[in-house]
Amino acid sequence: MKIGIIGAGNMGGAIARGLAKSTKVSASDITVSNPSQPKLDALKQFNNAINVTISNAAAAKGADIIILAVKPWLVKSVLGGISFNAKSQLLISVAAGISFEEYVAMLDSPDSTIFRIIPNTAISEGESMNLIAAYNASEAQKTLVQGLFDEMGSSIFINEEQMAAGMALTSCGIAYVFKYIQAAMQAGIEMGIKPMDAQKMVAQSLKGAAAIILNNDTHPSVEIDKVTTPGGYTIRGVNELDHAGFTSAVIKAIKISRG
């Protein structure tokens, strides 16, 4: 299976590295294109077997899967510069905000198989939450694409009309998680803890909380109850968060990120 990745920026580069480390694709079957050489050189330094080129057409030629990892406003010009075969190639786009209807119009092919994927920046660590929507795809093709991106985190299929809301929760939402880490660090520093120690404490606590939710049939409310003993310190802090509008602020931030 040959994969052509157009774009070697933060997202395209992370996808190329993740696929090269995966069990499903050989690095030598990956070709990445980018207009600037330094990003391609960085990929070669990571794994010399990855093929690189400044030609988008060369990256797409002969690929079973073409991954578009470019800014949304570049998609139309990029698609116009490559030869896409709807019968033998799958198109995967990580460009936000462009609908399947728009892709079909740009490709002038209603028979195309297209996937829209929204990862988040944790893809660089192999821990991305990947949201996938599919157009004209068979179950086998869906399984294939999900399997590829599961190697770089966790993936779920959603309907296209849910993409904006999903992006607010995951792609935008990771920034709000970082904001909590930053705020909690500041509290720790004020209480006399060294900055990097505070950062590790908070980040590991978040990692542990996420593991509890992901690995068990539970709910945040159940887990909060386990650590909020009557008259204890934790319930005081939880109540203070609610008094300060924490829950409302998170809901408002995520909803406004939907656009």
CATH topology assigned to domain 173-257? ProC C-terminal domain-like fold (1.10.3730)
Q: Which among 208, 220, 211, 207 has a CA at the least distance from the CA of 247?
A: 220
Write the CATH number of the domain with boundaries 3-159: 3.40.50.720
- Tell me the pLDDT of the chain (259 aa) as tens digits: 999 999 999 999 999 999 999 899 999 999 999 999 999 999 999 999 999 999 999 999 999 999 999 999 999 999 999 999 999 999 999 998 999 999 999 999 899 999 999 999 999 899 999 999 999 999 999 999 999 999 999 999 999 999 999 999 999 999 999 999 999 999 999 999 999 999 999 999 999 999 999 999 999 999 999 999 999 999 999 999 999 999 999 999 999 998 7
Determine the Cα–Cα distance for residues 182 and 18; give it in Å rounded to an integer: 28
Sorted by where each begins, the domain ranges of the chain are 3-159, 173-257
Determine the Cα–Cα distance for residues 63 and 40; give it in Å rounded to an integer: 18
Chain-centroid distance, C-alpha 37: 24
